[in-house]
Amino acid sequence: MQSSNLYEQYKNITQKAADFNNAAAVLGWDQEVYMPKKGFAFRGRQLATLASQAHELVTSDAYGKILHELSSKNDLKEEQQHNVRLSLEDYEKAKKLSTDFVEKLTQQSSESYSAWIEARRQNDFSVYAPQLEKMIALKKQQADLYGYEKHPYDALLDDYEKGATVAMLNPVFKMVKEQLSPLLNQIIRAPQVDDSFFYQTFSKQKQFDLSVEMLKQIGYDFDAGRQDYSEHPFSTSFAPTDVRVTTRVDENNLASLLWSSIHEGGHALYEQGLPEEQYGLPLGAAVSLSIHESQSRLWENSVGRSLLFWKFFYPQLLQYFPEQLGKTSVEEFYKATNKVAPSLIRTEADEITYHFHVMIRYEIEKSLLINEINPKDLAGVWNEYYQKYLGVSSPDDKQGVLQDVHWSHGSFGYFPTYSLGSFYAAQFFEHAMKEVSNLEEQLANGEFKSLLQWLRTKVHQHGRRYNSEELCERITGRGLDFSSFMNYAQQKYSAIYK
């Protein structure tokens, strides 16, 4: 068969599987945004059906035969070669999981999520523990099915960060302990900045409207997306032309919405920048979760928490909340947005202590998979780690072990990508400042198009053509370098905390 016809067959199957997955994503979005409480049972079944249909398509022998035949062709275009190579890697990995197992995992995800929601409502981890234990058992089974050389966590990490291992991550988090801890201790000993003005009454609707304006300002296309409320802020994509974000509002804490909206907006900008013509194919997908996180962290921290950003945006903020913020200068507001203090909630943590939150989850996940921690004991273990690394203990389960949705979805191996993403973000932004003419001046004037275009060119347009390290080296001339983040953090916080 001619290569062109064979490639069209491959493309048709791959995109049909993407249709199933994206239909499931719509149901998943609805489950977390609008679905009534009684819908969970059947929603789990619906999601499991769609997941199994997609899995069958991309694990069938016929599909494998097409991929193997295409991989032997020497007349494919370069983009086609990349798609086939990556799809073959995905196929060989997916074949290790049976359709029955994928159905079980998807069904358990829905049941675990329902239990997590109820446990948070009751503020009682024991309500969630039995379902979480079932999920952990399935993830152990999944690691065994994938296979691994040294640690079962390696097998699960690969789903989110291709090639990542415990051996690679341990040194990264060692640097967090050895280099970031001294900086944190210096900051803790310094006079604290005042952020009390964040904790007033701020209208829910006005906060939401403000966040929409901020998203529009940085380039989020509302003709190709929307923002809604959810228990846990997230972004999801059904195609580059339909990328949605959610946020949450605390009427007594303005900061909660600001950073969740900008953060999720950064994720969404990446998805909206992926090539439409590669829909459903590897070159139409994000590189990895760490690179995805680099995009959200770059917009949230490098841009959104910068003085340049607020010199432009603060007058608009004052229009929404003149009574609450009228006596606060932009410099005071900037310092408050960058207040560093050990806290309980990861999603609301500052960009220094944040990595200790991630490290705690990393350590717990590794231990769960090798039976060093019993899932029933997680609430106590959680507090032990928080006391050890951040000197705080949660007064209840909702602010402690129940704060993250990830484990209910079975996302073991996801958390480390958050820190990797922050470190990549610092490195990318460092180079954007060098390569984009007058970028500092543009940001101060609220002009973000040049930065977004730089990211479109350097990151978004490539899809999965390169892995994380290859992409980083292509952009910055070297692989992940923790020193970029440390230099950024030391310069920024030395100035704020003097």
Distance in angstroms (rounded) separating the CA atoms of residues 151 and 251:
44
Residues in the chain, total: 498
Cα distance between the two ends of the chain? 69
CA 38 to chain centre: 28
What is the DSSP track for 316-375? HHHHH-HHHHTT--HHHHHHHHT-----S-GGG--TTTHHHHHHHHHHHHHHHHTTSS-G
Closest CA to 210 of 263, 253, 257: 257
Half-sphere exposure for 102 (CA within 13 Å, toward CB): 23
Name the residue among 166, 164, 157, 156 with its Cα closest to residue 105: 156
CA–CA distance from 411 to each of 67, 109, 267, 278, 330 (Å)?
Answer: 28, 10, 18, 26, 39
d(CA 463, CA 460): 6
C-alpha 196/C-alpha 262 separation (Å) is 22
Tokens 């699960």 — which residue? Answer: 156
264 is catalytic: yes
DSSP sequence for 374-427: -GGGHHHHHHHHHHHHTS---SSSTTTTTS-SGGGGT-TT-THHHHHHHHHHHH
Q: What is the DSSP string of 411-423?
A: -TT-THHHHHHHH
Rounded CA gap, 131 and 109, in Å? 9
Considering 111, 161, 264, 469, which one is annotated as catalytic?
264
Helices (H) and strands (E) in the chain, counts: 22, 3
Which token pair is 402? Answer: 């129940």
Q: Which residues are catalytic?
A: 264
